[in-house]
Structure 1
Amino acid sequence: MNSDVLTFGVEEEFFVVDRTGHLSPVGGAVVDAADEDEGELQQELTRSQAESATGICTTRDEAERQLTILRTNLAEAAARRGRRLLPSGSAPLTETALPAITPNPRYERMSEHFGATARTSHTCGCHVHIAVPDRETGIRVIDRVRPFLPALLTVTANSAICDGYDTGYASWRYQQWNRWPSAGAPPRFGSLDHYESIVDAWLRAGAILDRAMVYWDVRLSEKQPTVEFRLGDVAATVGEAVLYGVLIRGLVGTILASEERPSKLSNEVLRAQIWRASREGLSGRCPHFRTGDLAPASDVLDDVVTFASGALAETGDLDFVRDGCARLAAEGGGADRQRARFEKRGVADDVVDLLAVRPARD
């Protein structure tokens, strides 16, 4: 493996639910009680959520090991309180009350300022950080990767069932999350100055309260020297989260090695393309990153892998990614499995049972 291989990290958000599958306001207690011998555990916006983050990873094996330990530690801490850890982009069951906001000054300010947007957009995503040498390089990555975002969303789409019914979307979380004024597809920036001018205008308009609220599907991280991909649902399994992470790393590596100019794809068209991907997921059709024409999503994903094959081969991930994408195409992604389980009895509780992370000592 090349000694200057891109490093990466993965963040995952989870719901904490009770034995019946309903949201439980003990996420903070679960985070506090969980073993933190790998990565980092954090509280989230609502009290019914928990977040994990790997350390800096060089290989997929490192990422898989850390993600497995982090999920297991959170699941065991939840189990000790009679709760379960749920990797789902949206909450499957109908809730009778809005989730409580975590008692943190920043989160409380967000809740007061954004009202129902903050109180009803409780979703769980998967965020992938890829190291870049500087912010200007990060802008080049964002501008080049935009056409690939629809296909990337299909990999982890895992929120078909929400509020007790089939939403008709593979990633309903993506639709929920886009209520935030700073969320959605990034425009083609062209320069770091353009990026910063938009962030500054948002701050002056009160559309964001701080720079951490820049919620574009791909953004420059404010804390690490990385580009952060934020569009994915939390993956149903660790394997799918790792697949998503190393595929993104392969794309970024390919982009950095290329002198190809960014696509002129408009933001209006890109938003519509990502909508289509969120609607149909891996089992439907997806706009192709080259032409914009609809094609079977699994075929588009295969073409993404081919595009990134050189970088994936360099890190030893090509066969892993090809096999993982073939398995998703054959067995269905998280949304397909949610929907298949729900259709058997029409009971969303079954989706919770399907997804809930089993503690190692279960």
Structure 2
Amino acid sequence: MNDNVLTFGVEEEFFVVDRDGHLSSAGDAVVDAADEEQGELQQELTRSQAESATGICTTRDEAERQLTTLRGELALAAARRDCRLLPSGCPPSAETALPVITPNPRYERMAEHFGATARTSHTCGCHVHIAIPDRETGIRVIDHVRPFLPVLLTMTANSAICDGYDTGYASWRYQQWSRWPSAGSPPLFTSLDHYESVVEGWLRAGAILDRAMIYWDVRLSEKQPTVEFRFADVAATPGEAVLFAMLIRGLVGTILGSAGSPAKLSNEVLRAQIWRASREGLSGRCPHFRTGDLAPATDVLDDVVTFAAGALEETGDLDFVRDGCARLAAGGCGADRQRARFEKRRRAEDVVDLLAERPWMR
């Protein structure tokens, strides 16, 4: 393996639900009670959520070990409270009440300032951090990776069933999350100053309360020297989260090792492309990152792997990523599996049972 391998980390958000599959208010208690031998466990915006974060990782095995352990600890802590941990981008079951905001001054201020956006944008995502040497390099990565965002969303879509019905989207979470004023695809930046000028404009307008609310699909982390990819639904399994992270790292490595200017893709067109990806997922058609023309999403994903093959080979991840993408193409992404289970009896409870299974703990 290359000694200059890019380090990375993965954050995952989960719902905590009761035995009937409805949102519980035990999320903060679950986080507090779970063991934390490696990585980090955190409370989220609402009390029906829990979050985990790996430490700095170098290899996929290291990341999968941490993600599996963190999920397992949260799942066991939830079970002790007669609850279940649910890796889904949106809650499958219909709820009769709004989720309870976690009693934290920042979260309470967000709920007051953003109203229904904060109280009804109830979603769980997966965030991947890739190390960068400086923020200017991060801007370069953001600019170059933009055309790949639609197909990357198709492979991670895991929120087709929400509020007790089939939404018609593979990633309904992406649509819900995009209601935040600072969310969505990043523009094509001309410089780090350009990036900062937009953030400053948001702060002056009150569209964000602090820099932690920069919610672009790809952003510069405010806490670590990383680029953070934050558009994906939480993965159904730790293995699928690692597959996503390794492909992201391969893309960033490829971008950093190449010259040239980023594609002149307007944000209006990119938004439309991501909308298509969020609707159809991996089983549908997706705009190709080179041409913008629609093609089977699985074919576009294969082309992404080919594009990043050199960097993936350097880290020893090429076969892992190829095999993982082939399994997704054959068995469907998380949204496909949600929809297949729901269509048998049209019961959201069945989707909850599917998502709450823990074969990765055996």
TM-score (norm 2): 0.99
Measured after TM superposition, the shift of residue 84 of structure 1 is: 0.2
Cα distance in 2, alignment partners of residues 358 and 142 from structure 1:
35
Cα distance in 2, alignment partners of residues 359 and 305 from structure 1:
27
Cα distance in 1, alignment partners of residues 360 and 241 from structure 2:
19
Whether the 8 Å CA contact 1:15–1:88 is kept in 2: the answer is yes
Structure 1 residues 226 and 361: alpha-carbon distance in aligned structure 2, compared to 1, 3 A threshold: closer
Measured after TM superposition, the shift of residue 254 of structure 1 is: 0.1
Give structure 1 stretches of 5+ with no counterpart.
none
Whether the 8 Å CA contact 1:76–1:361 is kept in 2: the answer is no
Structure 1 position 106 matched with structure 2 position 102:
no
Aligned position for 2:56? 56
Q: Which amino acid aligns with 2:193?
A: D
Larger mean Cα displacement after TM superposition, 41-50 or 351-360: 351-360
Q: Which amino acid aligns with 1:28?
A: D
Measured after TM superposition, the shift of residue 358 of structure 1 is: 3.1
Structure 1 position 193 matched with structure 2 position 196:
no
Structure 1 position 324 matched with structure 2 position 324:
yes
Aligned position for 1:47? 47
Structure 1 position 74 matched with structure 2 position 81:
no
Structure 1 position 138 matched with structure 2 position 147:
no
Measured after TM superposition, the shift of residue 145 of structure 1 is: 0.2
Q: Percent identity?
A: 85
Measured after TM superposition, the shift of residue 212 of structure 1 is: 0.3
Whether the 8 Å CA contact 1:187–1:267 is kept in 2: the answer is yes
Q: C-alpha offsets along residues 116-168 of structure 1, whole Å, 9 cap, x if unaligned?
A: 00000010000000000000000000000000000110111000000000000
Aligned position for 2:172? 172
Structure 1 residues 153 and 226: alpha-carbon distance in aligned structure 2, compared to 1, 3 A threshold: same
Cα distance in 2, alignment partners of residues 65 and 156 from structure 1:
20
Aligned position for 2:286? 286
Q: Which amino acid aligns with 1:264?
A: K
Provide the secondary structure at the position in 2 that maps to 1:102. Answer: coil
Whether the 8 Å CA contact 1:9–1:129 is kept in 2: the answer is yes
**Correspondence 1:12-27 to 2 at 5 A:** 12-27=12-27
Provide the secondary structure at the position in 2 that maps to 1:184. Answer: coil
Measured after TM superposition, the shift of residue 357 of structure 1 is: 4.6
Whether the 8 Å CA contact 1:85–1:357 is kept in 2: the answer is no
Q: C-alpha offsets along residues 79-118 of structure 1, whole Å, 9 cap, x if unaligned?
A: 0000000000000000000000000000000000000000
Cα distance in 1, alignment partners of residues 131 and 116 from structure 2:
35
Measured after TM superposition, the shift of residue 359 of structure 1 is: 9.0
**Correspondence 1:208-287 to 2 at 5 A:** 208-287=208-287
Measured after TM superposition, the shift of residue 361 of structure 1 is: 8.5
For these two proteins, the number of residue pairs brought into alignment is 362
Provide the secondary structure at the position in 2 that maps to 1:51. Answer: strand
Cα distance in 2, alignment partners of residues 261 and 69 from structure 1:
41
Cα distance in 1, alignment partners of residues 360 and 56 from structure 2:
24
Provide the secondary structure at the position in 2 that maps to 1:78. Answer: helix
Cα distance in 1, alignment partners of residues 317 and 257 from structure 2:
17
Cα distance in 1, alignment partners of residues 90 and 159 from structure 2:
5
Whether the 8 Å CA contact 2:72–2:361 is kept in 1: the answer is no
Structure 1 position 123 matched with structure 2 position 132:
no
Whether the 8 Å CA contact 2:89–2:158 is kept in 1: the answer is yes
Provide the secondary structure at the position in 2 that maps to 1:130. Answer: strand
Whether the 8 Å CA contact 2:89–2:124 is kept in 1: the answer is yes
Structure 1 residues 354 and 85: alpha-carbon distance in aligned structure 2, compared to 1, 3 A threshold: same
Whether the 8 Å CA contact 1:155–1:240 is kept in 2: the answer is no
Report runs of 4+ in structure 1 exceeding 4 Å deviation: 359-362
Cα distance in 2, alignment partners of residues 358 and 341 from structure 1:
16
The RMSD of aligned alpha carbons is 1.0
Cα distance in 2, alignment partners of residues 321 and 260 from structure 1:
26
Provide the secondary structure at the position in 2 that maps to 1:262. Answer: coil
Q: Which amino acid aligns with 1:67?
A: L
Cα distance in 2, alignment partners of residues 250 and 321 from structure 1:
10
**Correspondence 1:338-353 to 2 at 5 A:** 338-353=338-353
Whether the 8 Å CA contact 1:9–1:54 is kept in 2: the answer is yes
Provide the secondary structure at the position in 2 that maps to 1:216. Answer: coil
Cα distance in 1, alignment partners of residues 243 and 154 from structure 2:
12
Q: C-alpha offsets along residues 262-283 of structure 1, whole Å, 9 cap, x if unaligned?
A: 0100000000000000000000
Measured after TM superposition, the shift of residue 190 of structure 1 is: 1.7
Aligned position for 1:358? 358
Structure 1 position 88 matched with structure 2 position 88:
yes
Provide the secondary structure at the position in 2 that maps to 1:353. Answer: helix
Measured after TM superposition, the shift of residue 360 of structure 1 is: 8.6
Whether the 8 Å CA contact 1:76–1:359 is kept in 2: the answer is no
Provide the secondary structure at the position in 1 that maps to 2:227. Answer: strand
Structure 1 position 4 matched with structure 2 position 4:
yes
Q: Which amino acid aligns with 2:101?
A: I
Whether the 8 Å CA contact 1:16–1:50 is kept in 2: the answer is yes
Whether the 8 Å CA contact 1:158–1:338 is kept in 2: the answer is yes
Cα distance in 2, alignment partners of residues 6 and 344 from structure 1:
43
Whether the 8 Å CA contact 2:147–2:265 is kept in 1: the answer is yes
